[in-house]
Structure 1
Amino acid sequence: MSTRRLRLLSANIQAGSSTRGYHDYVARSWSHVLPAGNKRNSLDTIAQLAGSHDIVGLNESDPGSLRSGFTNQTHYLAQRGGFDYWSHQPNRRVGGVASSANGLLSKLEPREVTDHPLPGRISGRGVLLARFGDGDDSLVIAVAHLSLGANSRASQLAFISELLHDHPHAVLMGDFNCSADRPEMKALFRNTRLQPPNGIVPTFPSWRPQRAIDHILVGDGLRTSNERALPAALSDHLALSLDLEVPEKALR
Protein backbone atom coordinates (compact mmCIF):
# COMPACT_ATOMS: atom_id res chain seq x y z
CA MET A 1 0.00 0.00 0.00
CA SER A 2 1.47 3.35 -1.04
CA THR A 3 1.71 6.02 1.64
CA ARG A 4 2.56 9.68 1.91
CA ARG A 5 4.52 11.24 4.73
CA LEU A 6 3.09 14.42 6.21
CA ARG A 7 4.63 16.57 8.91
CA LEU A 8 2.12 17.82 11.51
CA LEU A 9 2.42 20.56 14.13
CA SER A 10 0.14 21.49 17.03
CA ALA A 11 0.84 24.85 18.69
CA ASN A 12 -0.83 26.96 21.35
CA ILE A 13 0.62 30.33 20.30
CA GLN A 14 -0.84 32.44 23.15
CA ALA A 15 -1.85 35.10 20.59
CA GLY A 16 1.83 35.93 20.07
CA SER A 17 2.31 37.02 23.68
CA SER A 18 5.48 36.34 25.66
CA THR A 19 5.58 34.27 28.85
CA ARG A 20 9.01 33.35 30.24
CA GLY A 21 7.97 32.36 33.74
CA TYR A 22 4.94 32.24 36.02
CA HIS A 23 5.63 35.82 37.13
CA ASP A 24 4.87 37.02 33.59
CA TYR A 25 1.22 36.00 33.94
CA VAL A 26 0.94 38.98 36.32
CA ALA A 27 3.80 41.26 35.28
CA ARG A 28 2.97 41.03 31.56
CA SER A 29 -0.80 40.54 31.81
CA TRP A 30 -1.24 43.72 29.75
CA SER A 31 0.17 41.92 26.71
CA HIS A 32 -2.92 39.69 26.61
CA VAL A 33 -5.23 42.66 26.01
CA LEU A 34 -3.06 45.34 24.36
CA PRO A 35 -1.39 45.37 20.90
CA ALA A 36 2.16 45.68 22.28
CA GLY A 37 4.95 43.32 23.26
CA ASN A 38 6.53 42.60 19.85
CA LYS A 39 3.82 40.15 18.80
CA ARG A 40 4.64 40.55 15.09
CA ASN A 41 8.20 39.24 15.58
CA SER A 42 6.83 36.38 17.64
CA LEU A 43 4.40 35.49 14.84
CA ASP A 44 7.22 35.60 12.29
CA THR A 45 9.17 33.08 14.40
CA ILE A 46 6.10 30.83 14.65
CA ALA A 47 5.54 31.14 10.88
CA GLN A 48 9.09 29.94 10.24
CA LEU A 49 8.48 26.88 12.43
CA ALA A 50 5.04 26.21 10.93
CA GLY A 51 6.35 26.54 7.38
CA SER A 52 8.43 23.36 7.71
CA HIS A 53 5.21 21.38 8.25
CA ASP A 54 2.35 20.31 5.98
CA ILE A 55 -0.61 20.70 8.35
CA VAL A 56 -0.68 22.89 11.46
CA GLY A 57 -3.29 23.14 14.19
CA LEU A 58 -3.34 26.38 16.21
CA ASN A 59 -4.83 27.25 19.58
CA GLU A 60 -5.18 30.76 21.01
CA SER A 61 -4.71 32.41 17.62
CA ASP A 62 -6.27 35.88 17.73
CA PRO A 63 -8.75 36.29 14.83
CA GLY A 64 -8.45 40.09 14.85
CA SER A 65 -9.01 42.13 18.01
CA LEU A 66 -7.39 45.05 19.81
CA ARG A 67 -4.54 42.99 21.31
CA SER A 68 -3.42 41.74 17.87
CA GLY A 69 -3.71 45.16 16.24
CA PHE A 70 -6.79 43.73 14.47
CA THR A 71 -4.60 41.22 12.66
CA ASN A 72 -6.08 37.81 11.90
CA GLN A 73 -3.13 35.81 13.18
CA THR A 74 -4.10 32.57 11.42
CA HIS A 75 -4.23 34.37 8.07
CA TYR A 76 -0.94 36.14 8.82
CA LEU A 77 0.78 32.84 9.65
CA ALA A 78 -0.62 31.24 6.48
CA GLN A 79 0.85 34.02 4.36
CA ARG A 80 4.22 34.11 6.11
CA GLY A 81 4.52 30.31 6.38
CA GLY A 82 3.65 29.51 2.75
CA PHE A 83 0.29 27.81 3.30
CA ASP A 84 -2.26 27.98 0.48
CA TYR A 85 -5.16 26.95 2.71
CA TRP A 86 -6.22 28.22 6.10
CA SER A 87 -9.30 28.33 8.26
CA HIS A 88 -10.15 29.50 11.76
CA GLN A 89 -12.83 29.12 14.39
CA PRO A 90 -13.26 32.16 16.66
CA ASN A 91 -14.41 30.93 20.06
CA ARG A 92 -14.04 33.42 22.87
CA ARG A 93 -14.07 37.18 23.30
CA VAL A 94 -12.58 38.79 26.42
CA GLY A 95 -13.96 42.18 27.39
CA GLY A 96 -14.26 43.37 23.80
CA VAL A 97 -10.47 43.78 23.47
CA ALA A 98 -9.21 40.21 22.95
CA SER A 99 -10.44 37.20 21.02
CA SER A 100 -9.24 33.62 20.61
CA ALA A 101 -9.60 31.01 17.88
CA ASN A 102 -8.62 27.55 16.77
CA GLY A 103 -6.79 27.66 13.45
CA LEU A 104 -5.76 25.34 10.65
CA LEU A 105 -2.91 25.88 8.17
CA SER A 106 -2.50 23.41 5.32
CA LYS A 107 -0.40 22.92 2.19
CA LEU A 108 -2.94 20.30 1.07
CA GLU A 109 -6.39 21.36 -0.09
CA PRO A 110 -9.10 20.14 2.31
CA ARG A 111 -12.28 18.87 0.70
CA GLU A 112 -14.39 20.16 3.58
CA VAL A 113 -13.90 22.24 6.72
CA THR A 114 -16.51 22.47 9.46
CA ASP A 115 -16.52 23.78 13.02
CA HIS A 116 -18.52 22.83 16.07
CA PRO A 117 -19.00 24.51 19.46
CA LEU A 118 -18.09 22.23 22.34
CA PRO A 119 -20.23 21.72 25.45
CA GLY A 120 -18.94 22.91 28.80
CA ARG A 121 -19.83 24.81 31.94
CA ILE A 122 -18.48 27.99 30.33
CA SER A 123 -19.07 28.52 26.61
CA GLY A 124 -16.28 29.47 24.24
CA ARG A 125 -14.58 26.18 23.29
CA GLY A 126 -14.76 24.51 19.90
CA VAL A 127 -13.38 21.91 17.51
CA LEU A 128 -12.35 22.64 13.91
CA LEU A 129 -12.69 19.67 11.55
CA ALA A 130 -11.01 19.31 8.12
CA ARG A 131 -11.47 16.40 5.72
CA PHE A 132 -8.84 15.55 3.10
CA GLY A 133 -10.00 13.13 0.44
CA ASP A 134 -13.39 11.52 -0.13
CA GLY A 135 -15.05 8.49 1.34
CA ASP A 136 -15.20 6.84 4.73
CA ASP A 137 -11.43 6.27 4.87
CA SER A 138 -10.39 9.87 4.16
CA LEU A 139 -7.95 11.72 6.41
CA VAL A 140 -9.76 13.81 9.02
CA ILE A 141 -7.90 16.41 11.09
CA ALA A 142 -9.58 17.85 14.21
CA VAL A 143 -8.16 20.83 16.13
CA ALA A 144 -9.49 21.48 19.64
CA HIS A 145 -8.71 23.43 22.78
CA LEU A 146 -10.31 21.76 25.80
CA SER A 147 -11.43 23.22 29.12
CA LEU A 148 -9.49 23.34 32.38
CA GLY A 149 -12.22 21.50 34.31
CA ALA A 150 -12.38 17.69 34.15
CA ASN A 151 -16.18 17.52 33.90
CA SER A 152 -16.26 19.93 30.98
CA ARG A 153 -13.41 18.08 29.28
CA ALA A 154 -15.30 14.81 29.66
CA SER A 155 -18.37 16.20 27.91
CA GLN A 156 -16.21 17.81 25.20
CA LEU A 157 -14.33 14.58 24.53
CA ALA A 158 -17.62 12.67 24.42
CA PHE A 159 -18.82 15.09 21.73
CA ILE A 160 -15.57 14.72 19.77
CA SER A 161 -15.84 10.93 20.09
CA GLU A 162 -19.16 11.08 18.24
CA LEU A 163 -17.53 13.06 15.42
CA LEU A 164 -14.54 10.72 15.07
CA HIS A 165 -16.16 7.41 16.04
CA ASP A 166 -14.81 4.36 14.19
CA HIS A 167 -12.64 6.43 11.83
CA PRO A 168 -9.27 4.77 11.12
CA HIS A 169 -7.60 7.86 9.64
CA ALA A 170 -8.57 10.50 12.19
CA VAL A 171 -6.17 12.91 13.89
CA LEU A 172 -7.08 14.96 16.97
CA MET A 173 -4.62 17.65 17.98
CA GLY A 174 -4.48 20.61 20.32
CA ASP A 175 -4.19 21.81 23.90
CA PHE A 176 -6.14 19.29 25.98
CA ASN A 177 -5.22 20.83 29.36
CA CYS A 178 -4.67 17.30 30.71
CA SER A 179 -2.39 14.30 30.35
CA ALA A 180 -3.30 11.22 28.33
CA ASP A 181 -3.84 9.04 31.42
CA ARG A 182 -6.84 11.02 32.72
CA PRO A 183 -10.19 9.13 32.92
CA GLU A 184 -11.81 11.37 30.30
CA MET A 185 -8.96 10.63 27.89
CA LYS A 186 -9.24 6.90 28.49
CA ALA A 187 -12.93 7.18 27.56
CA LEU A 188 -11.91 8.87 24.29
CA PHE A 189 -9.60 5.96 23.44
CA ARG A 190 -12.36 3.44 24.24
CA ASN A 191 -14.94 5.17 22.08
CA THR A 192 -12.80 5.95 19.02
CA ARG A 193 -9.96 4.37 17.10
CA LEU A 194 -7.59 7.07 18.30
CA GLN A 195 -4.54 5.64 20.03
CA PRO A 196 -2.76 6.80 23.20
CA PRO A 197 0.54 8.57 22.51
CA ASN A 198 3.63 6.37 22.23
CA GLY A 199 5.50 8.34 24.88
CA ILE A 200 5.32 11.31 27.18
CA VAL A 201 6.40 14.62 25.64
CA PRO A 202 6.07 17.48 28.17
CA THR A 203 4.99 20.79 26.60
CA PHE A 204 3.97 22.98 29.55
CA PRO A 205 5.24 25.31 30.87
CA SER A 206 7.56 26.10 27.98
CA TRP A 207 10.38 27.41 30.20
CA ARG A 208 10.46 24.19 32.29
CA PRO A 209 8.30 21.55 30.61
CA GLN A 210 6.77 19.18 33.14
CA ARG A 211 3.24 18.41 31.88
CA ALA A 212 2.28 16.62 28.67
CA ILE A 213 -0.99 18.42 27.95
CA ASP A 214 -0.65 19.11 24.20
CA HIS A 215 -1.34 16.06 22.05
CA ILE A 216 -1.47 14.80 18.47
CA LEU A 217 -3.56 11.61 18.62
CA VAL A 218 -3.96 9.42 15.55
CA GLY A 219 -6.27 6.62 14.45
CA ASP A 220 -5.09 3.02 14.26
CA GLY A 221 -4.89 3.20 10.45
CA LEU A 222 -2.02 5.70 10.68
CA ARG A 223 1.59 5.48 11.78
CA THR A 224 3.71 8.16 13.42
CA SER A 225 7.38 8.85 14.05
CA ASN A 226 9.74 11.58 15.21
CA GLU A 227 7.42 13.13 17.80
CA ARG A 228 9.10 16.05 19.54
CA ALA A 229 8.46 19.33 21.34
CA LEU A 230 9.66 22.59 19.78
CA PRO A 231 9.61 26.21 20.98
CA ALA A 232 6.65 28.21 19.61
CA ALA A 233 8.39 31.60 19.96
CA LEU A 234 7.76 32.81 23.53
CA SER A 235 4.41 31.08 24.14
CA ASP A 236 3.84 29.38 27.49
CA HIS A 237 3.43 26.09 25.57
CA LEU A 238 5.93 24.22 23.46
CA ALA A 239 4.63 23.12 20.07
CA LEU A 240 4.30 19.41 19.28
CA SER A 241 5.56 18.03 15.96
CA LEU A 242 5.43 14.58 14.40
CA ASP A 243 5.66 12.78 11.07
CA LEU A 244 2.55 10.95 9.88
CA GLU A 245 2.36 8.10 7.37
CA VAL A 246 -0.95 8.39 5.52
CA PRO A 247 -2.28 5.88 2.94
CA GLU A 248 -2.53 7.62 -0.45
CA LYS A 249 -6.15 6.46 -0.74
CA ALA A 250 -7.02 8.55 2.35
CA LEU A 251 -6.03 11.70 0.46
CA ARG A 252 -7.89 10.98 -2.80
Structure 2
Amino acid sequence: MLSANIQAGSSTRGYGDYVTRSWSHVLPAGNKRGALDTIAELAGRHDIVGLQEADPGSLRSGFTNQTHYLAQRAGFAYWSHQPNRNVGGVASSANGLLSRLEPRLVEDHPLPGRVKGRGVLTARFGDGRDALTIAIAHLSLGSQSRRNQLDFIAELLSDLPHAVLMGDFNCDPDRPEMQALYRRTGLQPPPQCVPTFPSWRPQRAIDHMLVTPGLHLATMQALPAAQSDHLALSVELDVPDAALR
Protein backbone atom coordinates (compact mmCIF):
# COMPACT_ATOMS: atom_id res chain seq x y z
CA MET A 1 0.00 0.00 0.00
CA LEU A 2 1.06 3.58 -0.61
CA SER A 3 -0.01 6.89 0.93
CA ALA A 4 1.10 10.04 -0.87
CA ASN A 5 0.44 13.76 -0.52
CA ILE A 6 1.18 14.71 -4.14
CA GLN A 7 0.78 18.50 -3.74
CA ALA A 8 -1.29 18.57 -6.97
CA GLY A 9 1.84 17.75 -8.96
CA SER A 10 3.61 20.97 -7.91
CA SER A 11 7.33 21.13 -7.17
CA THR A 12 8.73 22.23 -3.80
CA ARG A 13 12.46 21.72 -3.24
CA GLY A 14 12.97 24.08 -0.31
CA TYR A 15 11.07 26.44 1.98
CA GLY A 16 11.77 29.34 -0.38
CA ASP A 17 9.72 27.64 -3.09
CA TYR A 18 6.55 28.21 -1.06
CA VAL A 19 7.04 31.91 -1.96
CA THR A 20 8.93 31.89 -5.25
CA ARG A 21 6.86 29.08 -6.78
CA SER A 22 3.51 29.94 -5.18
CA TRP A 23 2.12 30.60 -8.68
CA SER A 24 2.34 26.86 -9.41
CA HIS A 25 -0.42 26.24 -6.85
CA VAL A 26 -2.93 28.30 -8.83
CA LEU A 27 -1.72 28.20 -12.45
CA PRO A 28 -1.37 25.26 -14.91
CA ALA A 29 2.35 25.90 -15.30
CA GLY A 30 5.42 23.87 -14.47
CA ASN A 31 5.88 20.24 -15.37
CA LYS A 32 2.87 18.89 -13.45
CA ARG A 33 2.16 16.23 -16.09
CA GLY A 34 5.74 14.97 -15.81
CA ALA A 35 5.43 14.89 -12.01
CA LEU A 36 2.22 12.87 -12.30
CA ASP A 37 3.93 10.39 -14.61
CA THR A 38 6.68 9.92 -12.01
CA ILE A 39 4.06 9.43 -9.28
CA ALA A 40 2.21 6.94 -11.51
CA GLU A 41 5.38 4.86 -11.82
CA LEU A 42 5.66 4.74 -8.01
CA ALA A 43 1.96 4.07 -7.49
CA GLY A 44 2.00 1.26 -10.05
CA ARG A 45 4.22 -0.82 -7.78
CA HIS A 46 1.41 -1.04 -5.20
CA ASP A 47 -2.02 -2.65 -4.92
CA ILE A 48 -3.86 0.11 -3.05
CA VAL A 49 -2.90 3.80 -3.06
CA GLY A 50 -4.29 6.67 -0.99
CA LEU A 51 -3.74 10.18 -2.35
CA GLN A 52 -3.96 13.54 -0.64
CA GLU A 53 -3.91 16.95 -2.37
CA ALA A 54 -4.85 15.46 -5.74
CA ASP A 55 -6.48 18.10 -7.93
CA PRO A 56 -9.91 16.90 -9.14
CA GLY A 57 -9.90 19.16 -12.19
CA SER A 58 -9.35 22.89 -11.70
CA LEU A 59 -7.37 25.57 -13.52
CA ARG A 60 -4.04 24.74 -11.88
CA SER A 61 -4.15 21.13 -13.15
CA GLY A 62 -5.27 22.13 -16.63
CA PHE A 63 -8.71 20.77 -15.66
CA THR A 64 -7.23 17.27 -15.32
CA ASN A 65 -8.69 14.96 -12.70
CA GLN A 66 -5.34 13.85 -11.31
CA THR A 67 -6.68 10.74 -9.54
CA HIS A 68 -8.23 9.50 -12.79
CA TYR A 69 -5.06 10.34 -14.71
CA LEU A 70 -2.91 8.38 -12.27
CA ALA A 71 -5.29 5.42 -12.38
CA GLN A 72 -5.00 5.27 -16.17
CA ARG A 73 -1.23 5.78 -16.28
CA ALA A 74 -0.51 3.24 -13.51
CA GLY A 75 -3.03 0.66 -14.73
CA PHE A 76 -5.45 0.63 -11.81
CA ALA A 77 -8.84 -0.86 -12.59
CA TYR A 78 -10.63 1.01 -9.79
CA TRP A 79 -10.39 4.58 -8.62
CA SER A 80 -12.43 7.08 -6.65
CA HIS A 81 -11.91 10.59 -5.36
CA GLN A 82 -13.34 12.92 -2.74
CA PRO A 83 -13.17 16.62 -3.68
CA ASN A 84 -12.93 18.63 -0.49
CA ARG A 85 -11.88 22.18 -1.23
CA ASN A 86 -12.57 24.40 -4.22
CA VAL A 87 -11.04 27.87 -4.41
CA GLY A 88 -13.14 29.55 -7.07
CA GLY A 89 -12.40 26.90 -9.68
CA VAL A 90 -8.75 27.99 -9.71
CA ALA A 91 -7.40 25.37 -7.28
CA SER A 92 -9.19 22.30 -5.91
CA SER A 93 -8.07 19.49 -3.67
CA ALA A 94 -9.21 15.91 -3.16
CA ASN A 95 -8.44 12.66 -1.44
CA GLY A 96 -8.07 9.81 -3.92
CA LEU A 97 -8.11 6.02 -4.02
CA LEU A 98 -6.41 3.79 -6.59
CA SER A 99 -6.96 0.05 -6.30
CA ARG A 100 -6.30 -3.19 -8.14
CA LEU A 101 -8.96 -4.83 -5.97
CA GLU A 102 -12.63 -3.99 -6.44
CA PRO A 103 -14.04 -2.19 -3.39
CA ARG A 104 -17.51 -3.31 -2.31
CA LEU A 105 -18.36 0.11 -0.90
CA VAL A 106 -16.77 3.59 -1.12
CA GLU A 107 -18.04 6.45 1.03
CA ASP A 108 -17.22 10.16 1.38
CA HIS A 109 -17.32 11.75 4.82
CA PRO A 110 -16.76 15.49 5.39
CA LEU A 111 -14.67 16.12 8.50
CA PRO A 112 -15.46 18.72 11.16
CA GLY A 113 -13.17 21.72 11.51
CA ARG A 114 -13.07 25.46 11.95
CA VAL A 115 -12.48 25.80 8.21
CA LYS A 116 -14.48 23.45 6.00
CA GLY A 117 -12.77 21.50 3.26
CA ARG A 118 -11.35 18.36 4.88
CA GLY A 119 -12.66 14.84 4.48
CA VAL A 120 -12.05 11.14 4.92
CA LEU A 121 -12.62 8.68 2.08
CA THR A 122 -13.40 5.10 3.14
CA ALA A 123 -13.38 1.93 1.04
CA ARG A 124 -14.49 -1.52 2.14
CA PHE A 125 -13.08 -4.66 0.52
CA GLY A 126 -15.00 -7.82 1.32
CA ASP A 127 -18.25 -8.28 3.23
CA GLY A 128 -19.27 -8.32 6.86
CA ARG A 129 -17.55 -7.12 9.99
CA ASP A 130 -14.24 -8.82 9.08
CA ALA A 131 -13.90 -6.91 5.79
CA LEU A 132 -10.81 -4.82 5.12
CA THR A 133 -11.62 -1.11 5.47
CA ILE A 134 -9.26 1.57 4.16
CA ALA A 135 -9.64 5.20 5.27
CA ILE A 136 -7.76 8.06 3.58
CA ALA A 137 -7.62 11.44 5.28
CA HIS A 138 -5.86 14.81 5.25
CA LEU A 139 -6.16 16.40 8.68
CA SER A 140 -6.03 20.06 9.72
CA LEU A 141 -3.04 22.03 10.93
CA GLY A 142 -4.72 23.08 14.20
CA SER A 143 -4.64 20.61 17.10
CA GLN A 144 -8.25 21.21 18.20
CA SER A 145 -9.58 20.68 14.68
CA ARG A 146 -7.46 17.54 14.39
CA ARG A 147 -8.88 16.27 17.68
CA ASN A 148 -12.43 16.74 16.40
CA GLN A 149 -11.57 15.08 13.11
CA LEU A 150 -9.90 12.11 14.80
CA ASP A 151 -12.93 11.72 17.09
CA PHE A 152 -15.10 11.51 13.97
CA ILE A 153 -12.80 8.97 12.33
CA ALA A 154 -12.73 6.91 15.56
CA GLU A 155 -16.51 6.58 15.35
CA LEU A 156 -16.22 5.24 11.79
CA LEU A 157 -13.51 2.68 12.59
CA SER A 158 -14.16 1.85 16.25
CA ASP A 159 -15.39 -1.74 15.88
CA LEU A 160 -13.50 -2.88 12.78
CA PRO A 161 -10.90 -5.66 13.20
CA HIS A 162 -9.23 -5.10 9.80
CA ALA A 163 -8.83 -1.34 9.34
CA VAL A 164 -6.16 0.92 7.85
CA LEU A 165 -6.06 4.69 8.33
CA MET A 166 -3.59 6.44 6.05
CA GLY A 167 -2.82 9.98 5.04
CA ASP A 168 -1.33 13.33 5.95
CA PHE A 169 -2.09 13.83 9.64
CA ASN A 170 -0.12 17.08 10.00
CA CYS A 171 1.14 15.85 13.38
CA ASP A 172 3.50 13.36 14.96
CA PRO A 173 2.03 9.99 16.06
CA ASP A 174 2.53 10.69 19.78
CA ARG A 175 0.44 13.88 19.91
CA PRO A 176 -2.34 13.93 22.59
CA GLU A 177 -5.13 13.97 19.99
CA MET A 178 -3.69 10.76 18.52
CA GLN A 179 -3.86 8.96 21.86
CA ALA A 180 -7.65 9.26 21.86
CA LEU A 181 -7.75 7.59 18.44
CA TYR A 182 -5.67 4.67 19.70
CA ARG A 183 -7.89 4.24 22.76
CA ARG A 184 -11.17 4.28 20.85
CA THR A 185 -10.20 2.03 17.93
CA GLY A 186 -8.02 -0.99 17.30
CA LEU A 187 -5.58 1.21 15.39
CA GLN A 188 -2.07 1.08 16.80
CA PRO A 189 0.77 3.61 16.87
CA PRO A 190 3.22 3.02 14.02
CA PRO A 191 6.01 0.55 14.89
CA GLN A 192 8.54 3.14 13.77
CA CYS A 193 8.50 6.85 13.06
CA VAL A 194 9.45 7.46 9.45
CA PRO A 195 10.13 11.16 8.71
CA THR A 196 8.31 12.34 5.59
CA PHE A 197 8.35 16.15 5.82
CA PRO A 198 9.86 18.22 4.37
CA SER A 199 10.79 15.95 1.49
CA TRP A 200 14.15 17.64 0.83
CA ARG A 201 15.28 17.18 4.47
CA PRO A 202 12.81 14.88 6.27
CA GLN A 203 12.59 15.72 9.96
CA ARG A 204 8.94 15.16 10.93
CA ALA A 205 6.83 12.00 10.80
CA ILE A 206 3.43 13.47 9.87
CA ASP A 207 2.31 11.02 7.18
CA HIS A 208 1.09 7.75 8.67
CA MET A 209 -0.38 4.36 7.92
CA LEU A 210 -2.04 2.95 11.05
CA VAL A 211 -3.37 -0.61 11.17
CA THR A 212 -5.34 -2.81 13.56
CA PRO A 213 -3.76 -5.92 15.20
CA GLY A 214 -5.51 -8.25 12.75
CA LEU A 215 -3.22 -6.92 10.00
CA HIS A 216 0.54 -7.44 9.97
CA LEU A 217 2.68 -4.54 8.80
CA ALA A 218 5.82 -6.16 7.37
CA THR A 219 7.82 -3.21 5.98
CA MET A 220 7.56 0.59 5.90
CA GLN A 221 9.64 3.09 3.97
CA ALA A 222 9.48 6.68 2.75
CA LEU A 223 9.87 7.31 -0.99
CA PRO A 224 9.93 10.48 -3.12
CA ALA A 225 6.59 11.42 -4.71
CA ALA A 226 8.09 13.41 -7.59
CA GLN A 227 8.84 16.93 -6.24
CA SER A 228 6.08 17.07 -3.60
CA ASP A 229 6.96 18.60 -0.23
CA HIS A 230 6.01 15.24 1.37
CA LEU A 231 7.63 11.87 0.90
CA ALA A 232 5.21 9.04 0.20
CA LEU A 233 4.83 6.22 2.71
CA SER A 234 5.03 2.69 1.28
CA VAL A 235 4.16 -0.40 3.34
CA GLU A 236 3.87 -4.12 2.81
CA LEU A 237 0.81 -5.40 4.63
CA ASP A 238 -0.29 -8.97 5.24
CA VAL A 239 -4.09 -9.18 4.98
CA PRO A 240 -6.05 -12.31 5.95
CA ASP A 241 -7.98 -13.88 3.08
CA ALA A 242 -11.18 -13.60 5.15
CA ALA A 243 -10.89 -9.80 5.09
CA LEU A 244 -11.22 -9.72 1.29
CA ARG A 245 -14.15 -12.14 0.85
| TM bin (shorter chain) | over 0.9
Any idea what the Cα deviations from partners look like across 1:32-70, whole Å, max 9, x if unmatched? 000011000000000000000000000000000000000
Q: 1:95 and 1:147 mapped to 2: Cα distance? A: 21
Q: Normalising by structure 1, what TM-score?
A: 0.97
Partner of 2:65: 72
* Match status 1:194 vs 2:180: no
Q: Normalising by structure 2, what TM-score?
A: 0.99
Equivalent of 1:30, from 11, 20, 23?
Answer: 23
* Match status 1:49 vs 2:42: yes
- Count how many residue pairs are aligned between Structure 1 and Structure 2: 245
Give me the CA root mean square deviation: 0.5
3-state SS of paired residue (1:92): strand
Structure 2: which amino acid aligns with 1:139? L
* 4+ residue runs over 4 A deviation: none
3-state SS of paired residue (1:103): strand
3-state SS of paired residue (2:144): helix
Q: 1:60 and 1:81 mapped to 2: Cα distance? A: 18
Q: Structure 1 unaligned runs (5+)?
A: 1-7
Percent same amino acid among aligned pairs? Answer: 78
3-state SS of paired residue (1:47): helix
Partner of 1:222: 215
Any idea what the Cα deviations from partners look like across 1:168-213, whole Å, max 9, x if unmatched? 1000000000000000001100000001000110000000000000
Structure 1: which amino acid aligns with 2:14? G
Q: 1:38 and 1:243 mapped to 2: Cα distance? A: 30
Any idea what the Cα deviations from partners look like across 1:45-99, whole Å, max 9, x if unmatched? 0000000000000000000000000000000000001100000000001243000
Q: Structure 2 unaligned runs (5+)?
A: none
Q: 1:94 and 1:18 mapped to 2: Cα distance? A: 20
Aligned pairs for 1:48-197 (under 5 A) are: 48-197=41-190
Q: 1:68 and 1:207 mapped to 2: Cα distance? A: 23
